[in-house]
Amino acid sequence: MTELLNNFQVEAKERLKEKSVLLVRHGETTANANGVLVEDPILTGMGERQARETGFKLRSLNNRVLVHTGLRRTLRTAELIKESGGIEGELVKNELLRERKIGKLEGLNFKWLLERYSEIKEAAERHRGSSIWLVEDELMGLEPVESMYKRVIKGISEVVDLSQQSCVVVCHSGTIKMLKAFKEGCKGDRDSLLKYLLGEVPTPGSVKEMNF
């Protein structure tokens, strides 16, 4: 498994060499605001304002490809960026860049998670939203973090070939953290990834340039 992962990363690093992307986290969602787990929530009014503000910041980036993950929060954020005059290029969907799949945890609140998974209590004291990464429960349909890492790297490898210019990618907090881990040479095993996943959460609507 480790050897296969290492080979995968070597190939991806070669493909991404000297490439760059602009990563945008989607605006605030109803799930963020209500503290529940929802795989495909919509933006709140605040989230829509954040998306428009991001579009205004990106108004000089004409004719860039604008990538979203197909989930409603990233699609709507991308649409509002375009409407705000941020980017005039085409919208492209890449589902490999989606957030972690949560399976049967859909609709559950944070209090329930604390009661079921004692391992997240300490992390929850530092940052509530990040502590879910500590949970491993494939029976509940939670995607293993190593699997998400591999698909995200595959997804970004596809994206960089879409345009000669840096693409703008509207995605998720977990996706951005995974890409940071890859850029900084993370081994891709669970323990190494958790150091990034339990870290600072990107602000909704934030923009980060990432050079590989």
Pair 196, 173: CB distance under 8 Å: no
Strands 207-211 and 20-25: antiparallel
Predicted TM-score (pTM) of the model is: 0.91
Q: What is the pLDDT of residue 78?
A: 96
* Paired residues of 169 in beta bridges: 23, 67
CB count in 10 Å sphere of residue 168: 25
10 Å CB burial of residue 26 (0-12, 13-18, 19+) is buried
Measure the CA–CA gap between 78 and 108, rounded to whole angstroms: 27
Q: What is the pLDDT of residue 125?
A: 63
Measure the CA–CA gap between 176 and 23, rounded to whole angstroms: 7
Residue type, 86: G
Measure the CA–CA gap between 4 and 191, rounded to whole angstroms: 17
User: Which stretches of the chain score pLDDT less than 50?
Assistant: none
CA distances from 43 to 101, 147, 167, 175 (A): 19, 27, 23, 18
Q: What is the pLDDT of residue 124?
A: 61
Q: What is the pLDDT of residue 31?
A: 94
How does 42-80 read in b/e, with b if 16+ C-beta sit within 10 Å? ebbeebbebbbbbbebbeebeebbbbbbebebbbbbbbb
pLDDT digits (tens, 9 = 90+) for 28-43: 999 999 989 999 999 9
CA angle at 30 for the pair 124 and 76, rounded to the nearest 5°: 125
Identify the structural domains of the chain with CATH numbers, from first to last: 2-202 (3.40.50.1240)
Measure the CA–CA gap between 109 and 87, rounded to whole angstroms: 36
169 in the Ramachandran plot: left (φ > 0), alpha (ψ -120 to 50) or beta?
Answer: beta
Q: What is the pLDDT of residue 162?
A: 85
Q: What is the pLDDT of residue 72?
A: 98
CA angle at 204 for the pair 89 and 79, rounded to the nearest 5°: 30
Measure the CA–CA gap between 185 and 6, rounded to whole angstroms: 11
Q: What is the pLDDT of residue 163?
A: 80
